[in-house]
């Protein structure tokens, strides 16, 4: 009863974070019209979710007629949740978290309705058994769980950090300027090069948390301190500004915290 649930959660994470390019996000925003239910961008995103879900269920040997119906319902639920989420004008941290919780809850309830998931009480018992290492897990289940945690470590954490920093109304690290800087210099930060720098920073964050996960799994905890030191040295000259320093410290602490949490979970799965 855990396999279909784990596979569809993995499919959701892949479709929502890994296989959703900026062009598709831009299409969803472009086609959004207040008061209209149809949005072609959200539809095509839901189609990707449908295709990935079906492909992974077949790959993990969990395909059946009830699974076919469940995937179809999950496709409709995904569209509805994303369509209602688009009604919010501002992307807040709690909106991001609520959106993911609703998606996971919808997947579970749909599978439960088709008899493909355990009821809440037995499910909690299964999770407790896994926590106590008293329930054997197949290699396929460990791979699915590991992939889901890696996506959480790299992509989900990145989106969460971005939302938290935006909610605090801090300026992007790459565009934050020193106090008293001329207006002409500030205007130059708005050029296309700033977007490229922000994208580079995003990839650096991905790699940073991936390395944290590797250190956690391998038990090389001293590597965490080395990574933090190298990151500080790389930004040393830019830390003269108070705003940049505050952003750097907060972003680094969030990245390290989430990286260690997901890394510890990944270590648990690998050593299970």
- Domain positions in the chain are 2-132, 147-176+191-270
Query: How buried is 269 (Cβ within 10 angstroms: 0-12 exposed, 13-18 middle, 19+ buried)?
Result: buried
> What is the reported pLDDT for 191?
52
Sign of CA dihedral 247, 252, 253, 258: positive
> What is the reported pLDDT for 110?
98
> What is the reported pLDDT for 151?
97
Q: Which residues of 194-227 are buried (b: 16+ CB within 10 A; e: fewer)?
A: eeeeeeeeeeebbebbebbbebbbeeeeeebeeb
Contact indicator for 12, 105 with CB cutoff of 8 Å: no
C-alpha closest to that of 39 among 82, 1, 74, 102: 82
> What is the reported pLDDT for 193?
60
> What is the reported pLDDT for 238?
64
- In the predicted model, residues of the chain with pLDDT beneath 50 are 172-174, 176-190
C-alpha closest to that of 47 among 20, 84, 18: 20
């Amino acid at each position: 009863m855990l396999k279909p649930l784990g596979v569809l959660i993995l499919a959701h994470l892949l479709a929502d974070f890994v296989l959703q390019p900026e062009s598709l996000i831009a299409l969803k925003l472009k086609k959004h019209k207040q008061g209209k239910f149809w949005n072609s961008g959200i539809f095509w995103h839901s189609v990707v979710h449908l295709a990935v879900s079906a492909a992974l269920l077949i790959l993990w040997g969990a395909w059946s007629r009830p699974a076919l119906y469940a995937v179809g319902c999950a496709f409709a639920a995904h569209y509805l949740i994303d369509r209602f989420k688009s009604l919010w004008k501002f992307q807040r941290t709690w909106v991001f978290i609520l959106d993911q919780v609703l998606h996971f809850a919808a997947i579970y309830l749909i599978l439960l309705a088709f008899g493909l998931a355990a009821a809440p009480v037995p499910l909690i018992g299964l999770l407790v058994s896994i926590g106590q290492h008293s329930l054997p897990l197949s290699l396929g289940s460990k791979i699915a769980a590991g992939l889901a945690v890696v996506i959480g470590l790299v992509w989900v954490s990145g989106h969460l950090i971005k939302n938290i920093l935006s909610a605090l109304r801090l300026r992007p690290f790459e565009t934050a300027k020193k106090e008293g800087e001329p207006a002409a210099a500030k205007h130059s930060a708005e050029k296309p090069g700033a977007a490229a720098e922000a994208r580079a920073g995003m990839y650096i964050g991905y790699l940073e948390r991936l390395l944290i996960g590797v250190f956690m799994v391998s038990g090389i905890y001293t590597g965490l301190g080395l990574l933090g030191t190298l990151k500080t040295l790389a930004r040393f000259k830019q830390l003269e500004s108070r705003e940049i320093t505050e952003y750097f410290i907060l972003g680094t602490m969030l990245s390290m915290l989430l990286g260690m949490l997901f890394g510890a979970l990944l270590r648990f799965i690998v050593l299970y």
